[in-house]
Amino acid sequence: MLIDSHAHLEMKEFDNDRNDVICRAKSAGVDFIVTVGTNLRLSRRAVALAGQNENIYATIGIHPHDVGKIGNKTYDDLKELAREKKVVAYGEIGLDYFRNIVPQAEQLEKFGEQLQLAKELHLPVVIHDREAHEQSLQMIKSSGIHQGVFHCFSGDYAMAKQCLDWGFYLSVPGVVTFNKSKTMQDVVKKVPLSSLLLETDCPYLTPDPFRGKRNEPAYIVHTAKKVAEIKGLSWEEVAAVSAQNTLALFHIEPSPDTNK
């Protein structure tokens, strides 16, 4: 089994060929795709896509780049959306101190509010942490949430250990295939496979050998193969274990006919 635990199939980059992309993922052996909402409009699109495709699940939430647009009704709308049955997590939420599109104080405030909302909804969280490692960990710890994933984990092994101790998974993107990604490769080597998920984050972060092109779920195979090479395992084992981790985190129980 193979799962892309973090894609953005609802984004406009896939408007012209979304069904082809989904078909190519199936042909490449990708059994499930979790498509991740980043604002209210795209969360709705993600949920709609999950409704139309048996092998797609959705998450909902407001990305740190978009929290400036949270209005009076946004959280109520998200709560309502969370009742849809293929919504498996809350996120991606977090802090982005690299691009700083929204002032940091406001990012922190909205991250805190959304962590509380996730807790209220009993949903695991998908965390976006870019150059805000300490603050992200601190926020998660004070929320008391113990189920979630650091998407595109970019910390070092010391941080990885803290995340694992806190009950979180770490998700590995295609960036791991780049030669310069030494810290990420070191984390992948040392962290047990039982704590890792695989993701594309498509349309972004295309792995080698397709770097420079738009990313898509079918390319997750290259990420699985690189993780396998680093850990000295077969790529089938990496795919299977990371898929089981994804199912466990998101409480997905595939129906017998979708589970080959």
Min dist. Cβ of residue 182 to Zn ion (A)? 23
C-beta closer to Zn ion: residue 66 or 201: 201
Q: How far is the CB of 53 from Zn ion (least distance, A)?
A: 19
SS3 state at 100: coil
Query: From CA 193, how far away is CA 170, in angstroms rounded?
Result: 10
Contacts of 200 (CB under 8 A, 6+ apart): 4, 6, 7, 173, 174, 207, 215, 216, 217, 219, 220, 223
Cis upstream peptide for 203 (omega within 30°): yes
Kindly tell me which of 78 and 127 has the beta carbon lying closer to Zn ion: 127
Position 10 contacts Zn ion (CB under 5 A): no
Q: For residue 132, how far is the Cα from the chain centroid?
A: 17
**Residue nearest to Zn ion as judged by C-beta position:** 201
Q: Which of 201, 216, 231, 243 binds Zn ion (CB under 5 A)?
A: 201
From 49-57, 83-91, 171-179, 196-204, span contacting Zn ion (CB under 5 A): 196-204
In this complex, which beta carbon is closest to Zn ion, that of residue 151 or of residue 231? 151
Chain-centre distance for alpha carbon 228: 20
User: Which one, 124 or 235, has the nearer CB to Zn ion?
Assistant: 124
Distances in Å between the Cα of 66 and the Cα atoms of 38, 48, 176, 251 are 7, 20, 27, 27
Q: How far is the CB of 196 from Zn ion (least distance, A)?
A: 17
Q: How far is the CB of 58 from Zn ion (least distance, A)?
A: 13
Distance of closest approach, residue 41 Cβ to Zn ion, in angstroms = 16
For the CB of residue 33, give the shortest distance to Zn ion in the complex, in Å.
13
Q: Cα–Cα distance between 216 and 6 in angstroms, integer?
A: 11
Q: Which helix (H) or strand (E) holds 149?
A: strand 148-151
Report the Cα 164 to chain-centroid distance in Å. Answer: 16
Interacting residues with Zn ion (CB under 5 A): 201
